[in-house]
Chain A
Amino acid sequence: MIEVRNLSKEFEDHLVLNNISATFHKGIVNMIIGKSGSGKTVFLKCMVGLIRPTSGEILYEGRNLLTMKTKEVKRLRREMGMLFQGSALFDSKTVLENVMFPLDMFSRMNKKERQKRAEFCLERVNLLDAAHLYPSEISGGMMKRAAIARAIALNPKYLFCDEPNSGLDPQTSQLIDELLASITKEFEITSVIVTHDMNSVMNIGEHIVFLNEGVKEWEGPKEQLKDADSEAVKKFIFASDVFKKK
């Protein structure tokens, strides 16, 4: 479980996150949704410690990330997997080497086992055929999938995904959603997924946090989302066609 308390982030007088508190639960798919520019990426990066918030607390099982010693942070991070909005694959390494990298760095497996594990992760995102290509030789959607494979290589306890299915076709998108949901259940991961795709939210979302212009507008279970007492939430969800069809 991850609890965020009173998190604020200011960039040179520009308040991007304003006093946000939220809870992300273990074994379910937590989603952060909101319009473009509402501060989702900044929030996610604060949660993993890549951006230092101006104030607030980030508690991993009750321990505050911001006051931990470097060694503890390092240990915690070995239990994290993260998918960046821009994939962030290492472009000097092939897809397979990218997925093997966390294993090379931190696992005690031998080379054969590491390769097998990496191939297994690539298989799960349907990318085994591209294992020996470089990031510059594959499409944006394939990069996304490779980055997901890399993020799950070490069986993380916490999985952070920034827009895992933007730029993917509906079919692949659904595949990725289902993959994320199933590993979350299977390994009891605390997953935090940033998205602005209502399809994903309806598909796999369980606990939803809605950000609007740096403020947490709403938080709760997905089932209650459409009855939320907030103009911004209503506007956001009814702008997508998920509800119109039904």
Chain B
Amino acid sequence: MSLSGLLESIGEYVLLMKQVLMPPDRAREFFKEFFKELYKLGVTSIGLVVLISFFIGAVIVVQLALNLNYPFLPSYTVGVVSREIILLEFSSTIMCLILSGKVGSNIASEIGTMRITEQIDALEVMGVNSANYLILPKIIAFIVFMPVLVIFSIFVGLMGGYIICALTANPPVATYVYGLRAFFREFFIWYAIVKSMIFGFIIASVSAYFGYSVKGGALEVGKASTDSVVINSVLILMTDLVFTQLVMG
């Protein structure tokens, strides 16, 4: 993508968000869509989050137990470190990268299909602010549900480690749990939740932008959907770095 093309896209995105971030035409219709999206984007993602978090949590403990095996480190280090990894980066950032694949492509292809089949034009002709009607419920629903997904992910991730400890006794469960509780800072939980909500906004709004600006046919919808996942991933990683520097540094 050329520089001028990039600047143009950013401009279009900002203008679209100006349309989106407005009070809805009808509150009743907004909430109807909001609850639909809460289910479609949020609730149906729980399974994926649980599955991945469980295995990654387990693998982290296995890796740490095998590789942090130095005489001068106490054995509860495994618990401390796996907690910090899951809390600080896995459940808040890596989880969002994975969700951008599922939720982002879903949003982009749904809105893109509505664009090429003239459903968005139909909304506009009725006098509905189509961007606001279609996109705002998705953004708000996903941001609101994000903390739920993160907490699920943290909990299940730590449980994954727990179960590995119970099965292999390396480290023993009591040591792992002791590690989980040692030097705990509640602030990290807030950090994870706030960060994930920012990512939630990025995922929902960027993929909606890609869908909304589709021109052409089914081929372009597919392209918009993959493009949105790529751009979302880049933005999430960059935002992670900046946000972490600002908050932790």
Contact = CB atoms under 8 A, between A and B. Distances in A.
A80 interface: yes
A170 B28 CA distance: 41
B208 to A, nearest CB: 15
Nearest to A50: B121
B25 A105 contact: yes
Contacts, number: 52
B126 A77 contact: yes
B29 A82 contact: no
B127 interface: yes
Contacts of A77: 124-127
A48 interface: yes
Contacts of B126: 77-78, 80, 101-102, 105-106
A14 interface: no
A33 to B, nearest CB: 22
A128 B28 CA distance: 26
A116 B1 CA distance: 52
Contact of A104 (B29, B113, B124): B29
B119 interface: yes
Contacts of B185: none
Contacts of B127: 73-78, 80, 106
B125 A48 contact: yes
Interface in B102-118: 113-114, 117-118
Nearest to A70: B129
Contact of B119 (A45, A91, A102, A106): A91
A88 interface: yes
Given A86-B117, A88-B119, A90-B119, A50 B26 contact: no
Given A104-B29, A105-B29, A50 B125 contact: yes
A141 B17 CA distance: 37
A105 B128 contact: yes
A146 to B, nearest CB: 12
Contact of B118 (A80, A88, A105, A106): A88
B122 interface: yes
Interface in A145-162: 160
Nearest to A89: B119
A160 B113 CA distance: 23
Contacts of A48: 125
A201 B181 CA distance: 81
A86 B125 contact: no
Chain B interface main SS type: helix
B119 A104 contact: no
Interface in A182-232: none
A86 B113 CA distance: 13
Contacts of A88: 117-119, 121-122
B118 A84 contact: yes
Nearest to B110: A92
A98 to B, nearest CB: 9
A106 B121 CA distance: 17
B213 to A, nearest CB: 15
Nearest to A154: B126
Contacts of A84: 118, 121-122
Contact of A82 (B28, B117, B125, B128): B125
A50 B128 contact: no
Contacts of B29: 104-105
Interface string B22-63: 000110110000000000000000000000000000000000
A80 B123 CA distance: 11
Nearest to B122: A88
Nearest to B25: A105
B122 A82 contact: yes
Interface in B54-99: none
Given A88-B118, A102-B126, A105-B128, 13 more contacts: A48-B125, A50-B124, A74-B129, A76-B127, A77-B126, A82-B122, A82-B125, A84-B122, A86-B117, A88-B117, A88-B122, A90-B114, A106-B126
Interface of A: 45, 48, 50, 73-78, 80, 82, 84, 86, 88-91, 101-102, 104-106, 160
26 contacts: A45-B121, A48-B125, A50-B121, A50-B125, A74-B127, A74-B129, A75-B127, A76-B127, A77-B124, A78-B126, A78-B127, A80-B125, A80-B126, A82-B122, A88-B121, A88-B122, A90-B114, A90-B122, A91-B113, A91-B117, A102-B126, A104-B26, A105-B25, A105-B29, A105-B128, A106-B127
Interface of B: 25-26, 28-29, 113-114, 117-119, 121-122, 124-129
